[in-house]
Chains A and B, each alone.
Chain A
């Protein structure tokens, strides 16, 4: 099963629709609640990052009988130092983003914690693609 969602830069209000749809499907599949929770948290954080730090992009979700793979791809500034970005508390969030209550530097570490596999492909000045995998019934 495949889903596609568009992400708009700076649109914090609509962010969360992708994770709600995914949540609904996972409930239909009878996925264990803690795995639903992990998936929803990770997808939401990645979506918010694309809204907050980049210029929009696209989410692709694929679910098969074993796992859910979520690809959040954006056009944006990219991440110059991934190791630094992965550290808890590191953030370059703009004042506008902070006004929305984001920018604690907890998103990426949270994604790491909640997924079974995390891959970040990024090119400075071009964009970032975050690929997250959660196994459904491990």
Chain B
């Protein structure tokens, strides 16, 4: 595998809980998982933090790393950077203002909704598209799992990604500057993102494609939901102050499928779900589909309400966001001043901060940087694959016969991992114990 700075990963295997059942290995879209010693292990440079393995694990052995809640204590300005999806987790009985009041009781001093940045970003994305007439198909930088999937599986499409910050990174930058402008010392500002997924943790923490992030910590949505839910049940925040509804109806819908693309007059494609995304990208890469315009693409079914750290049924959460948008549409008609306005100078400064450096391809297929070496390896892989039975039984601890062939040539496995490579039954059991831990003879 080409060695470049590796990604930060939020997805981890809890080896105590893992039974080595292979469910995750078969589900992974980048063949990043193997079984060793009876436990799943992840090849870090292949994983894109899509969460598919988390969804498929029958025993809850896939965990999502998060920061210690007490990290908040290190800061004076404790900001909860909350995506609209968070409110969607709660039953209608609990009002937005009560939920936010609970967050304040938990120690946050400021609450800032991620989608505040989307109106500003929409304009920048439009400018970017106009400034790049040579690009026919643009891919939104919204979902970090999509960006990583493109880097590793569809490297020829990296230039189609809009090279600007996502709403999350933009919002962190905006709230940081707002607080700094009212006199907060930079090192006293702690911005904590409440995440619906592992991919956003990974992107917030990874220096690879998103430089100068303003996010200081990440809190998993399910964890925070439980804390807030308990307080709500105890009626701790009944008398909360009303909040300033400065989000627009359109912004609230942005994290749902179609909510982003609705803001563009170009031809748009709103794609959600891992398999839809893989299929679309594959065909786009092969030029089998012609897709001029903007592609809004999210790894999760129904987009972020389907994130792996969400609690509420995705369709119920979606409905709550849609209802909130309807409400906001009514409010906005009465009060147009609610819109966030920036001075020209601030807009220009912010626009500069929204640039991101080049997103580099990180092909998971590439065998070696040297073409001749790669060719020798490819030849050996092909020969090895021809010996294997092509039944993809997973007994070797790899997701497919072709993956085993590749592992063998990369020096990460041996031909004897294949059960068909054995004549001697005792040797076979010995080898299987390497892969599966204790093996019980039938």
Please list the residues of chain A having a beta carbon within 8 angstroms of any beta carbon in chain B. 1, 23-25, 27-31, 33-34, 36-37, 40-41, 63-65, 136-137
Residue pair B156, A29 in contact (C-beta under 8 Å): no
A76 to B154, CA, bound (A): 38
Among the listed A28, A37, A40, A41, which residue makes an inter-chain contact with B374, where contact means beta carbons less than 8 Å apart?
A: A28
B287:A29 contact, CB within 8 angstroms: no
* In the complex with contacts A65-B371, A137-B371, A28-B381 CB distance below 8 A: yes
A23 to B156, CA, bound (A): 12
Q: Which of A34, A36, A41, A65 has the most CB of B within 10 A?
A: A65
Instruction: A96 to B367: give the CA distance in the assembly, Å.
Output: 43
| A65: chain B residues within 8 A (beta carbon) | 371-372, 375
**Distance to closest chain B CB from A101 (angstroms):** 12
From the candidates A23, A34, A40, A63, name the one contacting B375 in the complex (CB within 8 A).
Answer: A63
Q: Are B379 and A30 in contact (CB under 8 A)?
A: no
Assuming the A-B contacts A36-B156, A136-B371, are A28 and B378 also in contact, with contact meaning beta carbons closer than 8 angstroms in the complex?
A: yes
Chain A hits for B379, CB < 8 A: 1
Q: Pick the contact of A29 from B155, B286, B371, B382 — CB < 8 Å?
A: B371
How many chain B residues have a CB neighbour from A under 8 Å?
20
Closest chain B CB from A136 CB (angstroms): 7
Pairwise interchain contact B375-A1, C-beta atoms closer than 8 A? yes
Specify which chain A residues have a CB less than 8 angstroms from the CB of B375 in the assembled complex.
1, 29, 63-65
Q: Is there contact, CB below 8 Å, between B287 and A1?
A: no
Closest to A65 in B: B372
Find the A residue at minimum CB distance from B379: A1
Find out whether the CB atom of A1 lies under 8 angstroms from the CB atom of B156. Answer: no
How far does the alpha carbon of A24 sit from the alpha carbon of B286 in the complex, in Å?
Answer: 12
By a CB distance below 8 angstroms, the chain A residues around B372 are 65
Contacts of A23 in B (CB 8 A): 286
Can you name 21 A-B pairs with beta carbons within 8 Å? A1-B375, A1-B378, A1-B379, A24-B365, A27-B363, A27-B365, A28-B365, A28-B367, A28-B377, A28-B378, A28-B381, A29-B367, A30-B2, A30-B371, A33-B155, A36-B156, A37-B156, A64-B375, A65-B371, A65-B372, A137-B371
Task: Flag B167-184 by CB within 8 Å of A: 1 or 0 each.
Answer: 000000000000000000
In Å, the complex CA distance between A135 and B181 comes to: 57
A residues in contact with B155, CB < 8 Å: 33
